[in-house]
Amino acid sequence: MNIQTAAAALRANVGRVIVGKDEIINLAFVALLCEGHLLLEDVPGIGKTTLAKALAKSLDATFRRIQFTPDLLPSDLTGLAIYNQKTQDFEFRPGPVLTQILLADEINRATPRTQSALLEAMQERQITVDGSTMRLPRPFFVIATQNPVELEGTFPLPEAQVDRFFMRIQLGYPSADEENAILKRFERAEPLEELQPVIENATLLEMQRAAQTIRVEDSLREYIVSIARATRSHNAIELGASPRGTLYLYHAAQAYAATQGRDYVLPDDIKYLAPYVLTHRLILGAQTRLRGRTTQDIVQEIVQAVPAPVEKP
């Protein structure tokens, strides 16, 4: 199974549950191919958790879900050592983070201390408990859902953790036709319960390696760097994209090209992906926020302003 075929199979399978979101499903697969993590942000009831569950069910991988709440402790994520009176020794009880697909539901309802417990796992693919370090299985994919910070009972994610998410995606409300289709589809049955894996674990690991071989011309590499650097010098932005963001945009373009059946990256791939990879890494200045401008607006402006490379005749 090549990457384009796998992407089509995943869209079809998840599309049995999530209506009209093929583009979102494909972006999630791009993040998975790059061994990145996905942040789904939108208002409650849009289908963030359902999408995450459908993605997990479509992959032949272990899956755990944890509901983030204000009283959640870091040890509730990583696990802890418990004294066993029978053996008179401490035994490690693993937490839900020791899995391949982790759904961190409503991640910004937990306190910053607990949110930060995911930092090491997301970046280093390992956890440290009582001085002992344990490697996490591969693939390790965090799908976090987040409600807008304006809602009650939410805590903004620390900048260091936000930067570790490969992409931030907003689902948006369905159209009238899509909402009607949702009512019909969920009228009697629960399609999520019937989903079967369509991508095997070993196949996924092979595709992750294959995505890294997609060709990126020198001019396109310079184009990616120019876009990232433009976010750091823009007068509306207080904090621009990190080098990690530059690297993620590079790998995202490779994986996206592979899902389209190409072995090379186009400038349009980079333009399309930049808002998903960069917007959540930027911090706007106070005056910019007062004017009602968003990071999405600024990134689109930068992408239009930075000259894209053209093929020489």
Structural contact between residues 65 and 99, judged by C-beta atoms closer than 8 angstroms: no
35 and 180 in a common domain: yes
Is residue 57 in a domain?
yes
Domain limit, last residue, from 178, 206, 234? 206
252 and 164 in a common domain: no
66 and 26 in a common domain: yes
300 and 156 in a common domain: no
233 and 134 in a common domain: no
266 and 167 in a common domain: no
CA angle at 204 for the pair 198 and 207, rounded to the nearest 5°? 120
74 and 32 in a common domain: yes
299 and 151 in a common domain: no
Is residue 65 in a domain?
yes
Spatial distance between the Cα atoms of 257 and 33, rounded to a whole number of angstroms: 11
3-state secondary structure of 201: helix
- Domain residues for the domain of 274 are 214-305
pTM of the entire structure? 0.87
Give yes or no for a cis peptide into 139 (omega within 30° of 0): yes
98 and 60 in a common domain: yes
Q: Identify the CA nearest to 144 among candidates 38, 28, 29, 30.
A: 38
- Please count the other Cβ atoms lying within 10 Å of the Cβ belonging to residue 52: 25
| 313 residues of the chain, pLDDT tens digit each | 789 999 999 999 998 888 888 899 999 999 999 999 999 887 777 788 888 888 888 988 888 888 888 888 888 888 877 877 777 787 778 888 888 888 888 888 888 778 777 877 888 888 877 777 888 888 889 988 887 765 556 777 777 778 889 999 888 888 898 888 888 887 777 788 888 999 988 899 999 999 999 999 999 999 999 999 999 988 888 888 889 999 999 999 999 999 999 999 999 999 999 999 999 898 888 888 888 888 888 999 999 999 988 765 4
Q: Kindly report the backbone phi and psi dihedral angles of residue 94, in degrees, each rounded to the nearest multiple of 5, phi listed first.
A: -65, 145
242 and 130 in a common domain: no
Which residue is listed with tokens 């040890």?
Answer: 75
The number of angstroms, rounded, from the C-alpha of 14 to the middle of its chain's C-alpha atoms is 16
36 and 150 in a common domain: yes
Q: Identify the CA nearest to 164 among candidates 56, 70, 280, 50.
A: 280
Structural contact between residues 27 and 51, judged by C-beta atoms closer than 8 angstroms: no
Is residue 247 in a domain?
yes
Number of separate domains in the chain: 2
Per-residue pLDDT, 313: 42
CATH code, domain with 276: 1.10.8.80
220 and 126 in a common domain: no
